[in-house]
Amino acid sequence: MKNILKNTALLIFFSFALTSCVDKWLDMRPDDQVVLEEYWTSAADVEAVVASCYRYMITDDYMYRLFYWGELRSDNIAMDNANTDESNLWNVNIQPDNGITRWNSFYQVINYCNTVIYYAPGVMAVDQNFKEYELRTYLSEALTIRALSYFHLLRTFGKVPLVVKPSKDDSEDFNVPQNTEKEIIDQIIADLTTAEGYARDSWATTASTKGRVTKNAVRALLSDVYLWNQEYDKCIESCDKVLNDKINEIILLETDYLYSKAFYEGNSPESIFELNFNSNLTKNNVTPNLFGNINKNISRGHLKGSASLINAYSLSYDTRLKSTLVAKYSNNKIEMTSAIFKYEGQKVPADFSKELYVFRSASSTANWILYRLPDIYLMKAEALAEIGETSNLRQAITLVNKTYTRANPEIDSLKFEDFNTAASVKKLVLEERRREFAFEGKRWYDLLRLARREGSTANAVQYILPNYSDATLITEKMAQLGAWYLPVNEAQISINRNLKQNDYYNSIYGTK
Amino acid sequence: MKKIILIYILLLAVLQLYSQNEATVLTGRITSATNGETLMGVSIAEMDQNNRVVNITISDFDGNYILKIKNPKNKLKISYIGFEAQVFAGITKKRIDVKMNENSQMLSEAVVVAKRTTNDGSFNIATREISMAMQKIDAKDFEGLSVASVDDALQGRVSGLDIVGNSGAPGSGMTMRIRGTSSITGNASPLIVVNGIPFDGDVNSGFDFSSANEEQYANLLNVNVDDIQEIVVLKDAASTSIWGSKGANGVLMITTKKGLKGKTKVQYSYRFTQAYQPNGMKMLSGDDYTMLMKQEYFNRTISDTENRELVEEFNYNPSFSEYENFNNNTDWISAVNQIGNTHDHYITISGGGDRARFRISGGYYDQTGTNIGQELTRLSTRSQLDYQVSDRLRFTSEFSYTFTDNLRNYDNLLDIAYKKMPNVGIFGQDANGNNTEAFYNIRSDSRLNASQKNLMNPVALGTLAFDRELGYRILPTFRIMYDIFNPEKTFLRYNAYISFDVNNIIRNNFLPNNVNTYAWSNSNVNRAEGTNTEKLTVMTENNITWQLPRNDKHQLMLYGAVQTSSGSANYQSFTTYGLPDMQITDPTALGYLEAESSGTSKSRSIGLISRAHYSFLDRYIVDLSYRLDGSTRFGKNNRYGSFPGVGAKWIVSDETFMKPTSNVISMLAFRPSWGVSGNQPGAEYLHFSKYVADKAGYLGLTSIHPDNLQLTDLRWETVTSTNLGTDIELFKGKINLVLDWYHKRTDDLLFSNLAISPTSGYSNILYKNVGVMDNDGWEVNVDFKEIVKQGKFTMDFNFNISNYYNRIVEMDDAVQNQYNDNANTIGNGVYLTRMQEGNSFGSIYGFRYLGVYQYSDFIEGSQDNAPVARDAGNNVMLDYEGNPKPMYFKYKSTKYAFKGGDAIYEDVNHDGSIDEFDVVYLGNSNPKFSGGFGINLRYAAFTLRSLFTFRYGSKIINMARMNAENMYTYNNQTVSTNWRWRKEGDETDVPRAVYQEGYNWLGSDRYVEDGSFMRLKYLQLNYTVPSKLIKQLGLSQLKLYSNFNNIFCLTPYSGVDPEISYGRFGAGIPGVSVDNSRTPRSIDWNFGVTVGF
């Protein structure tokens, strides 16, 4: 009996000892990952998540949409080897199940930005070496990338949910409704204003100065936002800050170097902000797929240049044409093809026994340019033209001439006398923007800005009509401004019932 | 040999002599009581009070022995194989002579006295006292069958255990469901326990059940059927709750054979099987096919304007450069089929004495499949050694090793064979139409549609490409059993084991360049993929059992245990293409590296188990169990899951008032039980927000991002089941009847990868508890033993049937929003995936097919069967001009007016359009009944056994037929398409042929078929050669078997085989059986022999 008691006591003792260990034993953490509880302890932790904000902008999903949303439906584009989603969008046959309307990649980037903005300030308390100015720099990057993402969402969908807190766990309600355009634009402007104060002027390397957020990058984006929001004075003011920055001067490239330096090499002196692709693991798959690149086993791109785009240039004089679309030489004459040259082409010295271009090699990577100096000129010109008054219009023509004369060295610059009304200057700026930024993901937003400003699609729709055989149908389809935005993806509505479909699409397809 | 033994014995004797000086020396002589002969080699042991051997010797060739005695109070035990052991308490004499009795009769008597016991996982309790729903299958029931894994042997034998073969390909495993599906995205297969140790199937803990194919865990292949002694199937939660978080889907407990005391026995068996593939759909010949294709083109525009000349391959034009290669009539199905042969060798050696017992077995199994290029080789060995140190201390060591080499087809050959155009040849042909030696692949510049052009030559694929999986699995186990006190007085037994499970899988597949005509840079040329997975699991258990000292009235057993398991796994995977030569098949060779990945994972769990078994007067029995499971897969708040179980049994027949009927009702018992078991998510670290580093950063910066949403309140999926059972035994065991009724409710259903609003920055949430699901059912099992007995002739009959009804009771809105939205794609070949409350999981939704429109234009009276909209009263709807409104297919922007020869679908809401609102429930894949029955006949040494299995009421989507009847693509079609609608007025139920146009094969009930079947699973004839004859041959045993398997199958199903496993998330339609022309179960016969030495 004594033995039994002793043994039982021992058993109980051991089981107690065991239970205290058990909890520890079951608290297992991953070997190859860090958990939130152990993260956010050093400056390096902050920097790595900031890097992710950029890293997920250069994913295919994000990159494709930068182009699709900004240009696919415009008059610059014709279908080549397009997929169903692309041709449906281009054909103005837009269903809410079109994959292009999925905004996942944008909100993924936004969530990473939110994460930085939420957690980074706390690191100062943990890491003594993490300085205030470093924090500010990182915040400026996160705020700018977030603003950039929202700016694209805003221009594509009109109203979108505005999420500014990181998503942490499953207890939160993610079924958030859309915010108004004003709420979104206010947030964007507020973020960018803060970021402008926080951002660095430049980085140690050229690649970083062009590839990461700088004060000028923030200003360029802010100018674009003001222009969209029809705050022309502020737009001009912001553009001037870039133009007057003499320390980190942005310099316009010379005619001959534009395509080899800006698009082939990347990070050129005229660039303000561009997404850098520079390793095998972060290849740019988007431009070769969309525009075609024989060296990457893609004989035909999804898209090609439209006939009206070719006509927008002067074949004999405008050097941009032969560098935007593939030019072929036959019978001692240059003939334009509709294949896209920008980003994927490399110009070779004019040797008339050969074609004028080669494609990038299979391993090369093209940077995607968000803003470069001509954009500042032309945004300012647009703002000036909108304000009107002769002096402003004159100034606008001068700005347009910066890119125009560079592209047409053999002819005279544009004269104010030929464009002496506000309307004609506006039209000129729009055309010059088209020629300068074709295939850079901007044309659709330019046209939409026009329609919004005029409160009518009547003029804007005229630009896209040459692309379609049935003008009446397209005019009818695009009559409402709502049709110029994209519908909210139906799968996203079926998950999040608080989302409302864009009114225009709602009227066509009905409520689900 | 004899000399060596002699010397050995002498040596021992000398040693004993040498050391005899100090202590008491005992001598004696051993003789046989039967004939007085002296016995050599008898063991004479001095043992202490705990029967631990202190000293031992053996008798010499004259039967003499000498033993040095340490303590005269000790016992002396004299034992010899085949003789009854004798024990002398206290060694007071100096000489003990012993006469030994042969013990053959004694043994059989002992069996009668002992109660039959069954081990239910922790207790060894009398079978009659079991209060839980479980069924035991003895290995004898499947002796002589040639099956690769035990699930095949179990099929149709256990009520409530629904087993469906995944495919007839070797080693593809079976899908098992005990009492219906109780989990949606989790693993729904039962837990397999081998000798008390969970036999974990998943190769790595990151293994995603939701996307896995059932074939990927044909886990039971690692247990050789011949090694199995018995299988116990635990069905209700009262019995499975002791397995806690792993027991939600039921438990299959396998006990392997052990060594028995006695002379060393050697047994060898060999079985040879020949398998034939049953005939499937009859396909068109080359000539019929090209005719059909031309018509498919013609019907697009009802003219030849769409130039059919475009496709030269259909035109038999001798000027076409590939003419000879496209003028054939190839039977692709026969070309990929073959007769499969299986050789199954198995040898076992077992034996042992009082102290030590052993059993060693080895098996070699080699099976070629019924499709070319399939071969499964398995080498397995298992050894078990029991060593009893004393009556109170015993060690056991088990070791099993299995090597499997499963050579599979790179792709589903049969599927390709059904699709491949029959006018193309297997081999390239020269200008005279003679076959060359090279396989023919359609040229890449052919104008054929890519779906046909890129369809690889299945014969080439089966011959040259492969998908090989090598598995090495080693399971060493060490056990100890110790009685803390003398078990006769105070029964307190300690048991412990530690078990290692080393599971390595090497998978390598290869696609050589000569099965297609792609350019060298294409990723399908000389493509190799390789994955190495290593997993180590360590499991331990420490338990204590206490038993109330024997008492006539009360019997009480208590049990407590701690189980732990910890596992780690890692994998590496490479995919390369463009390897320099088709002889080089390893992905690490120089080529283009397409993908490369690796990963590692760990998991741990702990279980605390307590159980009590109490019986009063042997007829009132109560079982209680409680398990607390801790798992690393949950956060602090839900880390422990508790799983209680209660079972009771009232043996009514033991009551005095039942005495008068005891001649008829020898046993009558009621068993109510209730219990909870559970399921945990299939992934680790869910309750953490993980920060993951990307392979590539940005501008030289390392990129790290939060990878998932932290799951703060993930709970265990729990299954609560109530079981009411009755056991009836009539006429002293002649008839055994077991009835069970159950209600099983799964709460907090786990759902993986549930889509969430992407504005969160994530596209899905890894796991969520989403709902409630019910399974209600009943089971009947009847056994008639020797129902007919006439001289040497006896007949047994057994029958089981079970039914269950599965119902989704509650489903989270998030899941319903995602799956039930009408926005789901509707189109040709698509069935909706829905999760609808009130319906079964595995429900099928689609249109109702009503035949074919006879005419294009409606003319009242003469051409009524034309595509016009009709109202609920079947009146034709007219537009404002008085013309009949045409019937449309409308989906999103698609609007198609039906024409003559098109399929008629029921316009359920009579709105003149076939759209998402006409989709209706078409049944579900769960069977209404399933079960089996068998008749065993014995006459002297002959036994004829049969087993029939059946399922009734399960619905199958016959996708294979859909693909072979749609006349929409370039795929070859069945001969039934010859009955197609060809011209206005044709009356038929097969629509017209139109290439890539129309909606003639929407997901409808046209392809939903009744999968009921009754099949003769096997017919087996055994002959045991009489012992007289055997002795003359110098053998101890000789048995001959012959089996005929699957020789007939009664089924309304039009496909080859109605046994189709359920689809899973990510693979097919969840819970629905979809027939994709996998290799059907073969028809086979076999012959086997077992020899004992």
Using CA atoms, how far apart are residues B104 and A451, in angstroms rounded to an integer? 105
Here the tokens at position A98 are 């079109």
* Cα gap B736→B782, rounded to integer Å: 6
Answer yes or no: do A112 and B705 touch at CB < 8 A. Answer: yes
At B851, give phi and psi (nearest 5°): 115, -150
Q: Is residue A170 part of a domain?
A: no
- With bands split at pLDDT 50, 70 and 90, how would you rate the model's confidence at A431? very high
Which residue has 């029967």 as its token pair? B51
Which chain A residues are closer than 8 Å to B823 by Cβ? 96-97, 490-491, 494, 512
CA-nearest residue to A492 within chain B is B757
pTM: 0.84
Q: What is the pLDDT of residue B110?
A: 34
How many contiguous H segments (helices) and E segments (strands) does chain B have?
12, 55
- Give the residue from B957, B985, B987, B981 showing the smallest Cα distance to B967: B981
Pick from B694, B704, B770 the residue to mutate for testing the A interface (most A CBs within 10 Å). B704
A23 touches chain B (CB under 8 A): yes
Domain that holds residue A360: 286-364
DSSP state of A467: G
Q: Is A494 in Cβ contact with B821 (below 8 Å)?
A: yes
Q: Is B631 on the interface with A (CB under 8 A)?
A: yes
What integer pLDDT is reported at residue B983 of this predicted model? 87
Query: What is the secondary structure of B579-643 as a DSSP string?
Result: -S-TT---TTSSSEEEEEEEEEEEEEEEEEEEEEEEEETTTEEEEEEEEEEEETTS-GGG-EEEE
Q: Closest residue of B to A114, CA-based? A: B761
CB of A350 less than 8 A from some CB of B:
no
**SS3 for B978?**
helix
pLDDT tens per residue, range B64-108: 888 888 887 888 888 877 777 888 877 777 888 888 887 654 333
Question: Contact B823/A56, CB-based, under 8 Å?
Answer: no
Distance from CA of B570 to the nearest CA of A (A): 12
Q: Does residue B105 sit at the A interface (CB-CB below 8 Å)? A: no
**Pairing state between β B75-79 and B43-47:** antiparallel
Put simply, whether A492 touches B (Cβ < 8 Å) is yes
Distances (CA, A) of A346 to A259, A269, B639: 8, 18, 60
**A362 touches B at CB < 8 Å:** no
Minimum-distance CB partner of A207 among B689, B696, B699: B699
Tally of CB atoms within 10 A around B813: 12
* CA-based torsion, A90, A95, A98, A104: positive or negative: positive
Is the Cβ pair A168, B703 closer than 8 Å? no
Q: Does residue A161 sit at the B interface (CB-CB below 8 Å)?
A: yes
Instruction: Give the phi and the psi of residue B12 in degrees, each rounded to 5.
Output: -60, -45
At residue A373, the 3 state secondary structure works out as helix
CB contact under 8 A, A168 and B606: no
Nearest to A77 by CA among A92, A96, A97: A92
Nearest CB among A33, A110, A170 relative to B690 is that of A33
CB-nearest partner of B702 from A25, A48, A499: A48
Angle at B99 (CA atoms; ends B95, B102), nearest 5 degrees: 150
Which of A47, A96, A112 minimises the CB distance to B701?
A: A47
Residues of A in contact with B600 (CB under 8 A): 31-32
A2 assigned to some structural domain: no
Residue B547: C-alpha distances to residues A9, A47, B169, B608 (Å): 18, 65, 50, 19
Q: Find chain A residues with C-beta within 8 A of B702's C-beta.
A: 44, 47-48, 51
pLDDT at B772: 94
User: Is the CB of B450 inside 8 Å of chain A's CB atoms?
Assistant: no
Q: How far apart are CA B599 and CA B573, in angstroms?
A: 9
Q: Is residue A69 domain-resident? A: no
Q: What one-character-per-residue DSSP string does B225-254 give?
A: GGGEEEEEEE-SHHHHGGGGGG-TT-EEEE
Structure confidence at residue B109 (pLDDT)? 34
Give yes or no for residue A362 having a pLDDT over 80: no
For residue B37, with 0-12 CB atoms within 10 Å meaning exposed, 13-18 middle and 19 or more buried, which class applies?
exposed
How many Cβ contacts (< 8 angstroms) between chains A and B?
Answer: 207
Whether residue A172 and residue B760 make contact (CB cut-off 8 A), yes or no, is yes
Partners of residue A32 in chain B, C-beta under 8 Å: 599-600
Q: Among partner residues A29, A167, A281, which is closest to B760 by beta-carbon distance? A: A167
Q: Is B701 on the interface with A (CB under 8 A)?
A: yes
Q: Do A512 and B822 touch (CB under 8 A)?
A: yes
Measured distance CA(B477)–CA(B502) in Å, rounded? 11
From A290, A261, A266, select the one nearest A66 (Cα to Cα). A290
Q: Does A97 touch chain B (CB under 8 A)?
A: yes
For A427-454, what is the mean pLDDT?
95
Q: A212 and B699 in contact by Cβ < 8 A?
A: yes
Report the distance separating Cα B531 and Cα B966, nearest Å: 38
Q: Which of A21, A26, A274 to mutate to probe the B interface, most B CBs <10 Å?
A: A26
Interface check B525 vs A, CB under 8 A: no
- Looking at residue B737, its pLDDT comes to 93
User: Would an 8 Å CB–CB cutoff place A268 in contact with chain B?
Assistant: no
Least confident of A28-37, A132-141, B473-482: A28-37
CB A442 within 8 A of CB A70: yes
How far away is chain A from the Cα of B756, in angstroms, using its nearest Cα?
A: 6
Q: How far A266 CA lies from chain B's nearest CA (Å)?
A: 13
**Full DSSP string of B350-406:** EEE-SSEEEEEEEEEEEEE-SBTT-EEEEEEEEEEEEEEEETTEEEEEEEEEEEEEE
> Across the interface, do A167 and B762 touch by the CB < 8 Å criterion?
yes
Closest alpha carbon to B231 in B244, B220, B242: B220
pLDDT digits (tens, 9 = 90+) for A339-361: 888 888 876 655 544 556 677 77
Residue A315 counted as domain residue? yes
From chain A, pick out residues whose CB is under 8 angstroms from the CB of B685. Answer: 28-30, 33, 35
**Which residues on chain B are in Cβ contact (under 8 Å) with A170?**
709-714, 765, 768
Give dist(CA B579, CA B586) in Å, integer. 9
Q: Which residue of B has its CA nearest to A21?
A: B606
Residue A343 lies in a domain: yes
Residues of A in contact with B762 (CB under 8 A): 108, 111, 167
Give exposure, A307-346, as e/b (b: 16+ Cβ within 10 Å).
ebbeebbeeeebbbbbbbbbbeeeeeeeebeebbbbbbbb
Candidates A22, A107, A211; nearest CB to B761: A107
Contact B606 A25 (CB under 8 A): yes
Look up tokens 């006439």; give the residue: B790
In a domain, A67, yes or no: no
Q: What is the C-alpha separation between A315 and A323, in angstroms, rounded?
A: 12
Judged by a CB distance cut-off of 8 A, whether residue B821 touches chain A is yes
Asked if A34 and B704 come within 8 Å (Cβ–Cβ), the reply is: yes
Please state the domain count of chain A.
1
Q: Is residue A341 part of a domain?
A: yes
A118–chain B Cβ distance below 8 A for any pair: no
B632, B714, B818: residue with CB nearest A26: B632
CB B395 within 8 A of CB B479: yes
Answer whether B950's CB lies under 8 Å from B930's CB: yes
Cα atoms in the 13 Å half-sphere on the side-chain side of A266: 23
Residue A299 domain-assigned?
A: yes
| Residues of B (888-927) whose Cβ lies below 8 Å from A | 892-893
Q: Which residues of chain B have pLDDT under 70?
A: 1-23, 103-122, 144, 146, 148, 166, 200-219, 302-310, 821-824, 893, 1065-1068
A358 sits in which H/E element? strand A357-359
Contact between B450 and B313 under an 8 Å Cβ cutoff? The reply is: no
Bridge pairing between strands B191-194 and B134-138: unpaired
Tell me if chain B has a CB within 8 Å of the CB of A110. Answer: yes
Instruction: Identify the pLDDT of residue B1007.
Output: 93
Do A30 and B685 make contact, defined as CB atoms within 8 angstroms? yes
- Taking residue B133's Cβ as centre, other Cβ atoms within 10 Å add up to 29
- Long-range contacts, stretch B520-526, CB < 8 angstroms, 24+ apart: B520/B578, B521/A297, B521/B578, B522/B577, B523/B577, B523/B578, B523/B592, B523/B594, B524/B577, B525/B577, B525/B578, B526/B577, B526/B578, B526/B579, B526/B580, B526/B581, B526/B582, B526/B584, B526/B591
